[in-house]
Structure 1
């Protein structure tokens, strides 16, 4: 099995969260592989910018998730360990990247996004991050 360290962002603006729809018709969160010499924070910010065209700012780390899948191109199983960051953006403007395999995306009201997100692990993460984000907005954190 190939093990990869990744980083991603849960980006909030106003009462909306950024999600992306990939070519497999899955609604997901922006993330990418951490390469040698990269910091997780940098990768998360860079992938949010590359995949969604959003300039974001990190508020805090939010946790880690793991998931496995079979890579057809690599002909073996892959395990991604993703470090997630709670982020905020100053605008609802976004632009999903077709070059990175996305067919739709943008900021959606949190309740709507929770219904759209494909994976339960991602929904749970958005739920947690939304609570923390509201705390930041209210100056409680």
Structure 2
């Protein structure tokens, strides 16, 4: 069993959510939230911000820790046990440019119901749901964008 830790973000700008479309060797991989592997000595929140910027080009700030998702998948040599730590983030614009080296061929900001249906993985849908409810709650209290919560 290989253990892996990643961090990512549910990035929101003006109520819309950032998604990335992955297409590897012309094989549909699906729409996903930006995330990536923690580097040695890196704090989780720093990994999340770095990965969002690298994978999408979006500049964002962390508002709040949302939680983690866990899943396993197989690679030829072994089984990977993966843990992903998620943060609610606010982007500074609608700008995004998918990272070609990671096989992202499209990116964009989508309305909640569109993003929810586009996302490929159930665990990312759950994280999106949780993050979006946090976002709506903060917005209702006029706290969205006014301060950081981590």
Would you say same fold, with TM above 0.5?
yes
Q: Structure 2 stretches of 5 or more lacking a match?
A: 144-150
After superposition, residues 60-139 of structure 1 pair within 5 angstroms as 60-72=64-76, 75-139=77-141
Q: Partners in 1 of 2:75 and 2:83 — Cα distance?
A: 15
SS in 1 for 2:102: coil
Q: Structure 1 stretches of 5 or more lacking a match?
A: none
| TM-score of the superposed pair, with normalisation by structure 1 | 0.93
Count of residue pairs the alignment pairs up:
139
After superposition, residues 26-45 of structure 1 pair within 5 angstroms as 26-45=30-49
Q: Partners in 1 of 2:63 and 2:32 — Cα distance?
A: 20
Superposed structure 1 runs of 4+ greater than 4 Å apart: none
Q: Partners in 1 of 2:75 and 2:55 — Cα distance?
A: 21
Q: Partners in 1 of 2:139 and 2:75 — Cα distance?
A: 40
Deviations 1:32-58 (A, max 9, x none): 111220000000000000000000000
What is the CA-CA distance between 1:137 and the residue it aligns to? 2.1
Q: Partners in 2 of 1:44 and 1:62 — Cα distance?
A: 12
What is the CA-CA distance between 1:140 and the residue it aligns to? 5.9
What is the CA-CA distance between 1:25 and the residue it aligns to? 2.3
| TM-score of the superposed pair, with normalisation by structure 2 | 0.87
What is the CA-CA distance between 1:139 and the residue it aligns to? 2.8
Which stretch shows the higher mean deviation, 56-65 or 88-97? 88-97
Counterpart of 1:4 in structure 2 is 4
SS in 1 for 2:132: helix
Q: Partners in 2 of 1:46 and 1:139 — Cα distance?
A: 29
